[in-house]
Structure 1
Amino acid sequence: WSDWVVFSFILFCLCCVRLHYTTTLDSRDPLNGGVSFYDPIIVELLVTTILTILWSLYIIYCIYKRVETKYVSKYYEELIGLALLWLFWIIGAADASAIWGTLSFCQKYEPCRVLSALMAFAWLGWLTLTGIVVLVMLYVMVNKFWNEPFHGRFDPRLSLQMRAV
């Protein structure tokens, strides 16, 4: 989980760099004739990374503190959240790759290197998420823990019940 948070944060930073570059273009910049713009896929990746960081920190907190909440505390609920994030990640990574494809011809320019790193971390984040989903699915299916708390403590006395405000 912590690796995924790190990859998401790096991708978040790269998206911010790209957004800053495209929305503050110099009039002499050859990109888009010097007219400022933004890439919708960058915004999608930015939202995806924010959701991922929040989700991951929540899951890490619940596992570490053995917390069960009213909304998300069971394995099947975790898998639903992971499936939604998986869709966001695959759409973002695939769309970015479809738009920018191969950037080997322009690696001497910083914006091009940012896009290359952005695509790399988008796919790395998706790959990490896919690994998490597979491992959780295998664990849940083998042990039949669909409705058990994902913090791993199945004795209710060991769980801290949180009340919804």
Structure 2
Amino acid sequence: MPLRAHTPAVRASMYGVLTFLSFMLFALSTARITYTAHLAPSDPLNHGVPFTDSVVVELLLTSLLFLFISPIWVWILWKRVKGWYARVWIEISVLSVLWCFLLIGMEKSTSIWPNLSFCATQIPCAVLQAMVAFAWLAWVLLSVMIGIGVVSAFRRRGWKDWSWEYGTMKVREPVFRKMRVDAQASGSVVSVNSIGAESVGGEGVSASVKAGGSYMA
């Protein structure tokens, strides 16, 4: 299942969905920062004093990284790029780092705003709810991508393969099996050559016998 789920087309689609979720997270984070940085004096939030949530800034930067990296991996998968950055272990490592950033941001935001249902009708609260929701969706999708990628890499023992290879190539055969197949193929070639040599030798003997018979006659 992990190998089939990680074909280039499926993985490119996952990166496309991740790009959409990252864009929504970026837009909502920007809206939140814009609102808190330009509070009106009469706004009850923070007594009307402008401020900036550090956790929102972190989610904003994380979404920007996703928006930068996701299209690159879509390009690598479709074009089958063979660069040092297109290795399986590099892809998994980069996604794991972003996974940690996103998890930290969600943990902080959930602890600060555990329940916003009391103000769901107000736009600032609706923006916060949507921001946290899209962050969780992106984290879940990223977890699935990393999990399938790690399982596929372990099953294929292909951490150093190209990123677009381990979703399309067959599982490698063990070395001893490959050596046995090569030995069988070599034996077949030797047998064919031996049979051919015997045939040629037999024809030569027959021709000599015929020539001797003609001379005696």
TM over 0.5: yes
**Which runs of structure 2 are paired with 1:1-150 in the superposition (5 Å)?**
1-70=15-84, 72-150=85-163
- Cα distance between partner residues in 2 of 1:135 and 1:9: 24
Higher Rg: 2
**2:130 is matched by which residue type in structure 1?**
A
SS at match of 1:145: coil
| Partner Cα distance (1:86, 1:131) in 2 | 11
3-state SS of 2:41 partner: coil
Cα distance in 1 between the residues matched to 2:16 and 2:148: 15
**Structure number with higher relative contact order (C-alpha < 8 Å, ≥ 6 residues apart):** 1
Q: List structure 1 segments (4+ residues) > 4 angstroms apart after TM superposition.
A: none
Q: What's the CA shift for 1:139?
A: 1.2
User: C-alpha offsets along residues 13-42 of structure 1, whole Å, 9 cap, x if unaligned?
Assistant: 000000110001111110011111110001
TM-score (norm 1): 0.90
Shift of 1:68: 2.0
Deviation, 1:8, is: 0.5
Report the Cα offset of residue 57 of structure 1: 1.1
For the residues of structure 2 that align with 1:129 and 1:53, how far apart are their CA atoms?
A: 13
Give per-residue Cα distances to partners, 1:118-146, cap 9 Å, x unaligned. 11011111101000001111111111111
Distance in 2 (alpha carbons) for counterparts of 1:57 and 1:74: 16
Where structure 1 has 5 or more consecutive residues not aligned to the other structure, the ranges are: 156-165
Aligned to 1:163: none
Query: What SS class does the counterpart of residue 152 from structure 1 fall into?
Result: coil
Report the Cα offset of residue 67 of structure 1: 0.9
Unaligned runs of 5+ in 2: 1-14, 170-217
Pairs aligned (count): 154
Identical residues among aligned pairs (%): 34
